[in-house]
Amino acid sequence: MMNSEADIYSGPIFDCDTHLYEVADSWSRYLPEKFRKDWGYQWRRAADNAEWALHIGDRKVEVSAGYFTEEGHIPPPGKLKEWLAAMKMGKAEVDLRVPMTPDMYEAEARLKKMDEFNVEGCLLYCGNMVSTISYLDQVEPAYAVLDAYNRWMLDDWGYVYKDRIFSAPLLTLADKAKAIEQAKFVVKNGARMVLMPMGPFGGKSPADPWFDDFWAILNEAHIRVVFHVSEAIYLKSAMAEWGEPMQQSRMRQSAFMWMHGYSERPVLETLSSYIFHNFFARFPNIRLISAENGAEWVPSMLVKMDKVRGMSRGGYWPAGQLEDRPSAIFKEFVTVVAYPEDDIKTIIDLTGSADFLVMGSDYPHSEGVERPAIFANEALAHVSAKDREAIMYQNGKRLMKAVA
């Protein structure tokens, strides 16, 4: 790993993985009264121990425990390695926390931070909300919570802020009629991207033609659909078969769960479903984005998809045969946010392209890099200057250029 103090890339940046932090009324501002007792979000101490954690009604969101302090302090941005090292040495977690700064929860302040970082544009995802998606397991309350959250996001951030910050409201296909209402709302209010849970809905692939009237709305608006790392509700029963409980603290999560319940499996299955269901032949204006799932799985996925396409030529194709190789479809319609620790040169060599790869700082989270330019130092030291500029800037900018 190179020294982060000497940046090897000094050009403009398009950051495809950034986050906000919610404020006190992010979930409650628009949540109908009848849902507030059982589905209201609040930070408080759990009844069973002293952990300060996010709760949905009486349910503790385990992964949130210990992340914020009661004073609202957070792990320092981009300092996960230092944070973990200090903890290993016995330093108290709370001593490593820092106060939130306005750029973490205000749009105009974020623009100033972007200027400081030489970031021309960014994709902005939800904060603690992303760890709660698997808790929204009842249809009516789920839409009430998501709709309330999306209205708050529109108030405080806008779905596009000064054509530089592109925020992702949350949509789900748990109920098609309600999903269509959601799609119409976010498109009407200028959204250029949305975030959706990974996996199937109601026993159907999200790319099943049954959902086409929903997708037609997003296709007309040239929407980008993000699949951000999170617990995938549909894997809950599968993991239970292995005796592996989901919705656990990340500090107590097993290696098996990291590998099969929270890592590559849901993104592989989700993305391949869109390709094998011939989704892009029907909706060529939509692009898919994998965020914070890494990229080292891509080469083997492309090889495998091309292989099984040949094996199943005479088999069942729910939406008709593909007119191109799955790997070619992937490269045209899917964008992948790489991890800074990924071997990006090898990924490019194996796939023959850097065009589907983009960078992400994960700011202001501790897991990413302290400054976006450091991503190039950590991940792109051995790629060509042309590919470095493409991943740091050009690919992300091109992704968001085509809009309704």
Beta bridge partners of 160: 166
**Model's pTM, two decimal places?**
0.94
Q: Model confidence at 257, in pLDDT bands (50, 70, 90)? A: confident
Q: Tokens for 216, please give them.
A: 């037609």
**What b/e string do you get for 77-91 counting C-beta neighbours within 10 Å, with b at 16 or more?**
bbbbeebeeeeeeee
CA distances from 402 to 19, 178, 391 (A): 23, 27, 18
pLDDT value at 404 more than 50: no
Q: Please indicate whether residue 402 or residue 226 has the higher confidence score (pLDDT).
A: 226
Judge contact between 124 and 41, C-beta under 8 A: no
CA 192 to chain CA mean position, Å = 15
Q: Tokens for 163, please give them.
A: 């054509």
Encode pLDDT of 149-173 as tens digits: 999 999 999 999 999 999 999 999 9
Encode pLDDT of 387-397 as tens digits: 999 999 999 99
